[in-house]
Chain A
């Protein structure tokens, strides 16, 4: 599998000359000045770097949540900077999944409903939705917790629901922002194993922000974010 990806490096995400700064009060802080990079389809990329170096911002840019000041972001042959907010939102809805450090499940929805939500949004039929949800819950091993509310689950279980939600609509790209950050080491490892197998089985491109070497170890490429640049590391 890994070989195949290496042999046919098709870029799914291409970043060119990205500049991004934030206004903080009267001071503007430059995060990126001229960042370029490429994420190949089907690969797992680990984004490494110190706190505040712009890893999360990069994820927001790739997902179209945020726009760069200049430069281009092409995801799945779509130039995000040329799309308006709604188009980017719909693009995200159909092609991107998100896993957060703090899970961000919707507390008033059950596990099943949380997972169904993205499917509903893309207009999947009711029958397909239910089939898909039960299969995916089975894949993450939570078929018996489907009717529980998030607060009734442990952290690891919640993150598994989040993962199920993130891939339920079969996105091309999965963005994970320190998915193991709120979990103990053992649970973190289980989650990563699950994530990797699901991503590879479904041929999903995964970009994962992490501080953990163990997590980085499973990646096909490791990119360091520093001084507003992306650099390959070993």
Chain B
């Protein structure tokens, strides 16, 4: 088949058409730009976080291949054993911590301190060369508090080599002597380096009061047949709590942790783009429908179908291209704001990561172009097809078109139902793939969108009489306008509906989640107070809650019972295995809420060390059920336990195995508790107990925290974590409002002449305005009403599929009616807001002018 490309004059006609309808142009442009912007911004923020992580990992690991780590840090003697006695050359000690540079121009800056032995560090080739700068080695080694800053940071702080600045370590003020500046190989690495302060290991030990301790030991081991032998020999030297792992697997594991979170963000951002595509779809359909007569003439003049189709697609292409570019630029702007939210969540949930540098690569530019153009072309495909169908016998009648649209509805609805069924089948597929979950969700959304025209029509029919009764003849006119010009209103309604449904779905999911976490906190924090060793401190000279201390605490007046716990990470099949070892009274054990099993049957076997509990994510990820046998790596031999219960837990995505200290001992390990739970007799006051407790522990390395405080702090973290989700939801709604606005503008402007006729035949300005606003309101209400079931279904989907697949967590569906009311209000509100301008504009148009203007 021959394709005839439209002639330049036709393009000119088309360009002028767009320019003559600037609102329509601007709205579709904005729609695609906003949709693309949200995706781009999220992608940039997410990629920046990822990149920052990779860079700092690369910066700080250098050529290291393996790392020895332990939960509570390592004794430095292990390093000497490896270096001096075992004779390993490429081994480096590392002690980490953080310091704060207070009151800089902007805000306090938190730096990650890396204490190393510069003299042993050479082979590691860390990205810390001093480019043309001199390092004051003498100061580094001999002067406490000397460190190396990145040149960028030094420039920002306006400090030079040889100067001293004030810093804070755990709130205590001290001095940092700048013994030299670090400069990196390239700008990106320089940015990663910016968060780091390199100090001598002696300084680090003194700063963090960790004399004799190390955080990690890094090694470069040859990659050959000897590696395994060396590893085995090294393992034999390691204490119980330490393990050696490859840096690659460690970094991959860390990066993997955030994968589900980042995928969730991407999916949310794609929703915004879906809504944006609806706007383009709407605008293109509209502009095609409006030009039916024109296309008819063109066909009569001898333009082929392909020329007309290409003309429309080219318009979409131009729109998509420019919208994508604008969206990309806008995305760059938004991403800065989103980045801090993304980073905060990663910090709260996963690991410490400072990201200051946006990583803007070509990737996002091409994503923007691809999505922008792709979405516009897809959205314009049907309008273009429709344009080619235009018969040369000068346009079908409007009413005929509307009839045809209605004829399709039945088929659309059938396809929609099939889609929804497919979505259900997709998520029922075995497997835990998160992407499959999202695919299912999008297919479901699409299905519902296809079904909704029929629903909208039915809704209009059903409500017509009541609207007529309430709104009089204007009401009647308004609702008739909505469904007789369905080809114009339908898409706007659907776009708004999807946005609102997303809002409802996400809100319900978050609130269900929050309720679940709240309840979980209440029952899992059974003790009234907890004494914990300072978390993450390698300076744990007393890493253990001593037996003596426990006995003393138990003896405090009004203390009913105490519990002791130890969290420990073991390695199983190369993966981390999180264990919680408990010496817990029955009162504390009752806190567990079971998905499978119950307290009565679990307690005796657990207490005696014959069985273990597993958390729900663990059960999900390992496909283990109540009663299954779980094999754990014992100190010498593997040891098996039956699973006495699967309990709800939201503290770990990877899952936890809980066992009693007796079972732990049976596996050959020493129970070294790091937390102590204090259960106070019912109704007795806390304060006296607390005071005595403080006297007993009297040690800086132990903290007393009340359950209530932990509970509140955890919920605060929860809320912070979901800020990013809320922001994304808001962005999607903004896109939808733009969509409704553009649809209403288009709709009303098209009918300027109709309205002029009505005005000429006696319709007042107020009535006209009322009709327009009523129409907007009706559109809003319909969207809202349709959004509610979809939103609730989405929430179910998010809870039972996406959350389960992402984190392995299940939770009860908690419906707060305020979400529904809010969604309705939001839908009507945004539709009304979108209707205000067209209403004013129409009301101020003089009927005579409108009539004259064809």
Q: Report the Cα distance A200→B304, complex, angstroms.
A: 30
Q: Is A109 close to B, CB under 8 A?
A: yes
Given A85-B305, A108-B17, also A98-B2 (CB < 8 A): no
Pairwise interchain contact A63-B300, C-beta atoms closer than 8 A: yes
What distance in Å separates the Cβ of A152 from its nearest Cβ neighbour in chain B?
A: 12
The range of chain A's interface size is 20 to 34
Pairwise interchain contact A116-B9, C-beta atoms closer than 8 A: yes
What per-residue 1/0 map shows which CB atoms of B607-651 lie under 8 Å from chain A? 000000000000000000000000000000000000000000000
Q: Is B163 close to A, CB under 8 A?
A: no
* B296-320, CB < 8 A from A: 296-306
What per-residue 1/0 map shows which CB atoms of A54-76 lie under 8 Å from chain B? 00100010010110000000000
* A44-94, CB < 8 A from B: 56, 60, 63, 65-66, 85-86, 89-90, 92-94
Q: Is A120 close to B, CB under 8 A?
A: yes
Pairwise interchain contact B393-A109, C-beta atoms closer than 8 A: no
Q: Is B605 close to A, CB under 8 A?
A: no
Among residues of A, the one whose C-beta sits closest to the C-beta of B1 is A86
Q: Which of B302, B394, B854 contacts A89 (CB 8 A)?
A: B302
Pairwise interchain contact B16-A65, C-beta atoms closer than 8 A: no
Pairwise interchain contact A89-B299, C-beta atoms closer than 8 A: yes
Pairwise interchain contact A109-B16, C-beta atoms closer than 8 A: yes
What distance in Å separates the Cβ of A121 from its nearest Cβ neighbour in chain B?
A: 6
* B5-34, CB < 8 A from A: 7-10, 12-14, 16-17, 20
- Secondary structure at the B interface, as helix, strand, loop or mixed, is helix
Q: Report the Cα distance A134→B157, complex, angstroms.
A: 73
Q: Report the Cα distance A56→B8, complex, angstroms.
A: 31
Q: Is B293 close to A, CB under 8 A?
A: yes
Which A residues touch B299, using CB under 8 A?
65, 89
Q: Is A100 close to B, CB under 8 A?
A: yes
Among residues of A, the one whose C-beta sits closest to the C-beta of B854 is A151
Q: Report the Cα distance A109→B8, complex, angstroms.
A: 11
Q: Which of B1, B9, B300, B304 contacts A98 (CB 8 A)?
A: B300
Given A86-B2, A108-B13, also A120-B302 (CB < 8 A): no
Q: Which of A56, A66, A86, A98 contacts B301 (CB 8 A)?
A: A98
Which A residues touch B7, using CB under 8 A?
117, 120-121
Q: Is B427 close to A, CB under 8 A?
A: no
Which B residues touch A93, using CB under 8 A?
301-303
Which A residues touch B9, using CB under 8 A?
109, 113, 116-117, 120
Q: Is A96 close to B, CB under 8 A?
A: yes
Q: Is A118 close to B, CB under 8 A?
A: yes
Which B residues touch A108, using CB under 8 A?
12-14, 16-17, 20
Which B residues touch A104, using CB under 8 A?
293, 296-297, 300, 394
What distance in Å separates the Cβ of A7 from its nearest Cβ neighbour in chain B?
A: 32
Q: Is B294 close to A, CB under 8 A?
A: yes
Pairwise interchain contact B297-A65, C-beta atoms closer than 8 A: no
Q: Is A6 close to B, CB under 8 A?
A: no
Given A108-B13, A108-B16, A117-B7, also A65-B301 (CB < 8 A): no
Which B residues touch A94, using CB under 8 A?
302
Pairwise interchain contact A100-B1, C-beta atoms closer than 8 A: no
What distance in Å separates the Cβ of A87 from its nearest Cβ neighbour in chain B?
A: 9
Q: Is A106 close to B, CB under 8 A?
A: yes
Pairwise interchain contact B8-A65, C-beta atoms closer than 8 A: no
Pairwise interchain contact A65-B391, C-beta atoms closer than 8 A: yes
Pairwise interchain contact B302-A90, C-beta atoms closer than 8 A: yes
Q: Report the Cα distance A89→B7, complex, angstroms.
A: 15
In the complex, number of A-B residue pairs with CB atoms less than 8 Å apart:
81
What per-residue 1/0 map shows which CB atoms of B842-854 lie under 8 Å from chain A? 0000000000001
Among residues of B, the one whose C-beta sits closest to the C-beta of A101 is B394
Q: Is B392 close to A, CB under 8 A?
A: yes
Interface size on B (CB < 8 Å)?
Answer: 31
Q: Report the Cα distance A161→B393, complex, angstroms.
A: 20
Q: Which of B10, B20, B304, B392 contacts A65 (CB 8 A)?
A: B392
Which B residues touch A65, using CB under 8 A?
299-300, 391-393
Among residues of A, the one whose C-beta sits closest to the C-beta of B17 is A108
Q: Report the Cα distance A60→B301, complex, angstroms.
A: 12
Among residues of B, the one whose C-beta sits closest to the C-beta of A66 is B393
Among residues of B, the one whose C-beta sits closest to the C-beta of A112 is B9
What per-residue 1/0 map shows which CB atoms of B382-406 lie under 8 Å from chain A? 0000000001111000000000000
Pairwise interchain contact B305-A118, C-beta atoms closer than 8 A: no
What per-residue 1/0 map shows which CB atoms of A103-131 lie under 8 Å from chain B? 01011110001001110110000000000
What per-residue 1/0 map shows which CB atoms of B152-171 lie under 8 Å from chain A? 00000000000000000000
Given A108-B16, A109-B13, A151-B854, also A86-B293 (CB < 8 A): no
Pairwise interchain contact A117-B301, C-beta atoms closer than 8 A: yes
Pairwise interchain contact B12-A109, C-beta atoms closer than 8 A: yes
Pairwise interchain contact B20-A96, C-beta atoms closer than 8 A: no
What distance in Å separates the Cβ of B631 from its nearest Cβ neighbour in chain A?
A: 72
Which B residues touch A63, using CB under 8 A?
300, 392
Which A residues touch B304, using CB under 8 A?
85-86, 89-90
What distance in Å separates the Cβ of A201 from its nearest Cβ neighbour in chain B?
A: 22
What distance in Å separates the Cβ of B430 from its nearest Cβ neighbour in chain A?
A: 50
Q: Report the Cα distance A119→B262, complex, angstroms.
A: 56
Q: Which of B301, B305, B854 contacts A121 (CB 8 A)?
A: B301
What distance in Å separates the Cβ of A102 from its nearest Cβ neighbour in chain B?
A: 9
Among residues of B, the one whose C-beta sits closest to the C-beta of A91 is B302
Which B residues touch A165, using CB under 8 A?
301
Pairwise interchain contact B294-A106, C-beta atoms closer than 8 A: yes
What per-residue 1/0 map shows which CB atoms of B278-303 lie under 8 Å from chain A? 00000000000000011011111111
Which A residues touch B16, using CB under 8 A?
108-109
What per-residue 1/0 map shows which CB atoms of A180-197 lie under 8 Å from chain B? 000000000000000000
Among residues of B, the one whose C-beta sits closest to the C-beta of A129 is B9
Q: Which of A56, A86, A107, A113 contacts B305 (CB 8 A)?
A: A86
What distance in Å separates the Cβ of B2 from its nearest Cβ neighbour in chain A?
A: 6
Q: Report the Cα distance A159→B311, complex, angstroms.
A: 26
What distance in Å separates the Cβ of A184 from its nearest Cβ neighbour in chain B?
A: 17
Which A residues touch B300, using CB under 8 A?
63, 65, 92, 98, 100, 104
Q: Report the Cα distance A121→B10, complex, angstroms.
A: 10
What distance in Å separates the Cβ of B668 from its nearest Cβ neighbour in chain A?
A: 83
Pairwise interchain contact B13-A120, C-beta atoms closer than 8 A: no
Q: Report the Cα distance A118→B392, complex, angstroms.
A: 16
Q: Report the Cα distance A65→B304, complex, angstroms.
A: 11
* B37-86, CB < 8 A from A: none
What per-residue 1/0 map shows which CB atoms of B193-237 lie under 8 Å from chain A? 000000000000000000000000000000000000000000000
What distance in Å separates the Cβ of B573 from its nearest Cβ neighbour in chain A?
A: 65
Which A residues touch B301, using CB under 8 A?
92-93, 98, 117-118, 121, 165
Q: Report the Cα distance A60→B304, complex, angstroms.
A: 16
Q: Report the Cα distance A104→B393, complex, angstroms.
A: 12
What distance in Å separates the Cβ of B311 from its nearest Cβ neighbour in chain A?
A: 12
Which A residues touch B10, using CB under 8 A?
117
Among residues of A, the one whose C-beta sits closest to the C-beta of B852 is A151
Among residues of B, the one whose C-beta sits closest to the C-beta of A96 is B302
What distance in Å separates the Cβ of B578 from its nearest Cβ neighbour in chain A?
A: 68
Q: Report the Cα distance A107→B19, complex, angstroms.
A: 13
Q: Report the Cα distance A98→B299, complex, angstroms.
A: 11
Which B residues touch A92, using CB under 8 A?
300-302
Which B residues touch A66, using CB under 8 A?
391-393
Which B residues touch A96, using CB under 8 A?
302
24 A-B interface contacts by CB (under 8 A): A60-B393, A65-B300, A65-B391, A85-B304, A86-B4, A86-B304, A90-B4, A90-B302, A93-B301, A93-B302, A96-B302, A100-B297, A100-B394, A104-B293, A108-B14, A108-B17, A109-B9, A118-B302, A120-B7, A120-B9, A121-B7, A121-B301, A121-B302, A165-B301
Known: A66-B391, A92-B301, A104-B394. 10 other contacts (CB 8 A): A63-B300, A89-B302, A89-B304, A93-B302, A94-B302, A96-B302, A98-B301, A106-B294, A116-B9, A121-B303
List the 4 closest A-B pairs by CB distance, nearest first: A93-B302, A108-B16, A65-B392, A120-B7
Residues of A within 8 A of B (CB): 56, 60, 63, 65-66, 85-86, 89-90, 92-94, 96, 98, 100, 104, 106-109, 113, 116-118, 120-121, 151, 165
